[in-house]
Amino acid sequence: MKKIAAGLVAAALFNTPVAMAQELHLFVTNLTNGVYFTPLLLSAHSAEADLFEPGSAASAHLQAMAEGGDISGLVSDLNSAAANSVADPAGGLLAPGATAHATINSNRGNNRLSVVAMLLPTNDGFVGLDSLRIPKRRGTYTFYLNGYDAGTEANDEVINGGGAPGVPGIPADPGGNGGTGATGVTTSEHNQTVHIHRGSLGDTDATGGASDLDSRVHHWQNPVARLVLTVGPLHAENE
């Protein structure tokens, strides 16, 4: 009888919401064929500390991340908001098929989760998770993340070493599959707010054509990433 009672008590404790601080383990996997993620930024923050909001204009710091992979401004914003964040858990670029792991502590005030990283090679595309309400109960949860367009730069698909805010072009193709001499896919951006990215058009001309991106390598559709979130210690459900 005592063993049964103890088992019931343990089950009840496991199924109750986690109070106060929560340990979060995040595993982000790049699901694309030939697109890299620049250094990731993952954060548990308050509802007032949005990194981005679809349908609204990108902040200057979001633009710097989306066009050149610079997360320093967003990190500063989160530090000012007393968020709990992890920058660059992969130690650089996250290659197609690779997974990065980060551990974050959240609390009652920082109960939203956001993730961002530039998609490279793109003009101003980024993988994003916007202020997900962190589950209160321990367990493992899976989410799929979309690629967004910051709306700050025309998607010309020209690799020219660009990447500074306001400078047209794509910094580089880390996979070495980019072309040269493209005339550019477009010079305008119809939606200048943060919106779902339409993916890369590309072509198969490595020394000209409209795009420096290879449609056989760089074309992608959503979702672009998988996030596996464990609330509480890893494997807590088996303890």
Is 157 exposed, middle or buried (CB count within 10 Å of its CB: 0-12, 13-18, 19+)?
buried
Class of domain 2-238: mainly beta
The residue extents of the domains of the chain are 2-238
Write down the pLDDT at residue 237: 47
Among positive and negative, which fits the CA dihedral 25, 135, 117, 186?
A: positive
Write down the pLDDT at residue 17: 44
- 163 vs 170: CA distance, rounded Å: 6
pLDDT in tens, the chain (239 residues): 344 333 433 333 344 444 468 999 999 999 999 999 999 999 999 999 999 999 999 999 999 999 999 999 999 999 999 999 999 999 999 999 999 999 999 988 999 999 999 999 999 999 999 999 999 999 999 999 999 999 999 999 999 999 999 999 999 999 999 999 999 999 999 999 999 999 999 999 999 999 999 999 999 999 999 999 999 988 744 34
Q: How many CA atoms lie within 13 A of 136 on its CB side?
A: 7
Write down the pLDDT at residue 108: 86
- 185 vs 10: CA distance, rounded Å: 60
pTM above the 0.75 mark? yes
Phi and psi of 95, rounded to 5°? Answer: -75, 160
With a CB cutoff of 8 Å and minimum separation 6, the contacts of 15 are 137
Tokens of 152: 């700050």
